[in-house]
Amino acid sequence: MNRKIEIVIPSKSKSAMGGIVNDFTLFTKAFASRTPIASPETFINDRIVVPSRFDYSIHKQKGINETMQIVDEDVCYNILSVVEDGIFLKITVEKVIE
């Protein structure tokens, strides 16, 4: 477990002009190990894009689900699945493509 990650949860707040702003709030920080996995190719704007997918392994924590994101070295990843594996959680993620 050589990576320090942040797990963030979606939240809404009001801007200075009174509009609703979608943002992310820190849920927890954890040490994790990361393993790359194969990614399917997709077309976005007539270009082939291969999003980065990884499996993260962290110590089990309650409340982590697929609506959250992982931030690792200032790169955001959407959580695709969370599976319990003994005292660990195996979290499959995909890089956020904007």
Which residue range forms the structural domain that includes residue 22?
3-95
- Domains of the chain: total: 1
Please give the helix or strand (H or E) that residue 89 lies within, else none. Answer: strand 88-95
The pLDDT tens digits for 56-69 are: 999 999 999 999 99
The pLDDT tens digits for 1-56 are: 899 999 999 998 888 888 888 889 999 999 999 998 876 666 777 777 766 889 99
DSSP states along 25-76 = EEEEEEEEEEEEE----EEETTEEE---EEEEEEE--TT--TT-EEEETTEE
CATH at residue 39: 2.40.10.270
**pTM, entire model:** 0.81
pLDDT at 80: 94
